[in-house]
Amino acid sequence: MSGMTLYDKLWESHLIREDEAGTALLYIDRHLVHEVTSPQAFEGLRLAGRKPWRTSSILAVPDHNVPTTNRSAGIKDPVSRTQVDTLDRNCADFGITEFSMLDPRQGIVHVIGPEQGATLPGMTVVCGDSHTSTHGAFGALAFGIGTSEVEHVLATQCLIQKKSGNLQIRVDGKLAPGVAAKDVVLAIIGKIGTAGGTGYAIEFSGAVLEALSMEGRMTVCNMAIEAGARAGMIAVDDTTIDYLSRRPYTQQVDLWDRAVNAWRGFVSDADATFDKHVSLDASALAPQVTWGTSPEMVTSVDGYVPDPDQEPDPVKRDGMCKALDYMDLQPGTPITEIRPDHVFIGSCTNARIEDLRAAAAVSRGQTVAAGIKQALVVPGSGLVKQQAEAEGLDRVFRDAGFEWREPGCSMCLAMNADRLAPGDRCASTSNRNFEGRQGQGGRTHLVSPAMAAAAAISGHFVDVRDTAGR
């Protein structure tokens, strides 16, 4: 018998029952909750006279709707306010731990879970949010669920699932200075497409992933969903254990040695078999920039906007034409000639301390270009913000002309007041460049934090490898 993959191990260890057709009941260890996808679930629970099965498994935080300025004044938009108030009330009623808007630990749900140590290796982690895949960086099975499933987990601590296939993505080589985790994952999506991982759980491995910090690994797993996979994961190693040893909640793990010993088992066996393999060598990888309205529409910063006439598949060609039209771009334009007028550094993909350091390194002593209408830096959590301020990064950003904001999702999806106006073009460190994602009619180019900061300084996209080596 061949060995087990990391995904197989996570699946097996959470399986309560499975019928002949493969429909399984899976136990959920950690349930993260935010204000947008939970109100109807709590409502359903109440209507059925049910209670949460295990409140100690739940951590809640408002993040999508919260303002990133002057928080003490409360939320202006009454509809947003109702949603945040509803979360507060639901958590109070059911005795659920919540970091409310004014708590210094508040932040984007996928930033605070790992930061607090609420996400552990070997766990099943769910949240009513597709970017839950982020937590897979810890050797956990983490995936996004819909609101009906949120209610199901609240009521039963379980989910009805079918097992996915095993997809191994190996990234070998060594990244050039200035090339980041974000570039790696964008390149993967460019290669396999946004449906390339559909029906699979992805395990990312190889020298590049091994060399990445936990922050970088979270960036990669975060975008597994953009490759079509509900879950992305990375094996546990010293980097994982070291990160966990410094988290508030893991300080409470008595039995630390026993736990670490168990966690180290969350790796694929040497003789494990995968259903599908993808590999790429990242040594020559250039920073990536998306040019269209799907994350797979991506190319290197030293490349050009592609020509739909060169695309043989008629459905794809039509999609490209619509995207170029929406983005107002001409085929053949060098990427470095594209001039954003907004820059957004934030989101659960790239708003951790390391991301802010990378953006600050490019911005230190520089000035945001005159053509940039707005450059925002939105830390992923209150603790990231504190850390950045302790390192003086806020000064670097402010001195250069960036706005330094309170933590939350902000312009990643523009549910709060931070949004693009029609026609605005934004260099963004977030994960989705869909039409209207950052504001109706807004145009998004996905890039790494260093690339976003460099675009702010230069007024157009530039290859950060040119400066990073020096």
Element (H, E) at 32: strand 30-33
The CA–CA distances, whole Å, from 284 to 69, 280, 451 equal 41, 10, 17
400 vs 414, beta carbon nearer another protein: 414
Task: Give the one residue of 108, 185, 376, 451 binding ligand SF4; rule: CB under 6 A.
Answer: 108
Using DSSP, state whether 203 is helix, strand or coil.
strand
31 vs 64, beta carbon nearer ligand SF4: 64
Q: How far is the CB of 97 from ligand SF4 (least distance, A)?
A: 19
CA pair distance 453, 375, nearest whole angstrom: 9
Using DSSP, state whether 109 is helix, strand or coil.
helix
| Number of residues this chain uses to bind ligand SF4 (CB under 6 A) | 13
Using DSSP, state whether 337 is helix, strand or coil.
helix
Q: In what order do the strands lie in the sheet with 158-162?
A: 15-18, 23-27, 158-162
CA angle 339, 377, 188 (to 5 degrees): 65
- The candidate with the shortest Cα–Cα distance to 7, out of 354, 267, 356, 189, is 267
Q: How far is the CB of 347 from ligand SF4 (least distance, A)?
A: 4
108 binds, among ligand SF4, another protein, none (CB under 5 to 8 A by kind): ligand SF4
Alpha carbon 413 to its chain centroid, in Å, reads 12
347 binds, among another protein, ligand SF4, none (CB under 5 to 8 A by kind): ligand SF4
Bridge partners of residue 142, in order along the sequence: 125
The CA–CA distances, whole Å, from 44 to 4, 52, 239 equal 38, 11, 41
Instruction: Please name the residues in contact with 254: beta carbons below 8 A apart, sequence gap of 6 or more.
Output: none
Q: In what order do the strands lie in the sheet with 231-233?
A: 231-233, 200-205, 165-172, 276-281
Tokens of 34: 């935010």
Q: Is 355 in the site for ligand SF4 (CB under 6 A)?
A: no
108 vs 360, beta carbon nearer ligand SF4: 108
Q: How far is the CB of 173 from another protein (least distance, A)?
A: 29
368 vs 413, beta carbon nearer ligand SF4: 413
97 vs 387, beta carbon nearer another protein: 97
Task: Give the one residue of 80, 124, 431, 444 binding ligand SF4; rule: CB under 6 A.
Answer: 431
Assign residue 95 a region (left: φ > 0; alpha: ψ between -120 and 50; beta: otherwise): left
15 vs 207, beta carbon nearer another protein: 15
Asked if residue 375 lies in contact with residue 368, where contact means CB atoms within 8 angstroms, the answer is yes
Stretch that binds ligand SF4, among 67-75, 89-97, 406-414, 444-452 (CB under 6 A): 406-414
Stretch that binds ligand SF4, among 112-120, 143-151, 409-417, 456-464 (CB under 6 A): 409-417
348 binds, among ligand SF4, another protein, none (CB under 5 to 8 A by kind): ligand SF4
Residue ranges in 113-132 that form contacts with ligand SF4 under rule CB under 6 A: 129, 131
Pairing of strands 165-172, 30-33: unpaired
Stretch that binds ligand SF4, among 142-150, 318-326, 359-367, 408-416 (CB under 6 A): 408-416
Stretch that binds ligand SF4, among 169-177, 199-207, 303-311, 405-413 (CB under 6 A): 405-413
5 vs 428, beta carbon nearer ligand SF4: 428
234 vs 413, beta carbon nearer another protein: 413
Q: Is 409 in the site for ligand SF4 (CB under 6 A)?
A: yes
Using DSSP, state whether 314 is helix, strand or coil.
helix
Task: Give the one residue of 126, 224, 413, 451 binding ligand SF4; rule: CB under 6 A.
Answer: 413
The contact set with ligand SF4 (CB under 6 A) reads 63-64, 108, 110, 129, 131, 347-348, 409, 412-413, 430-431
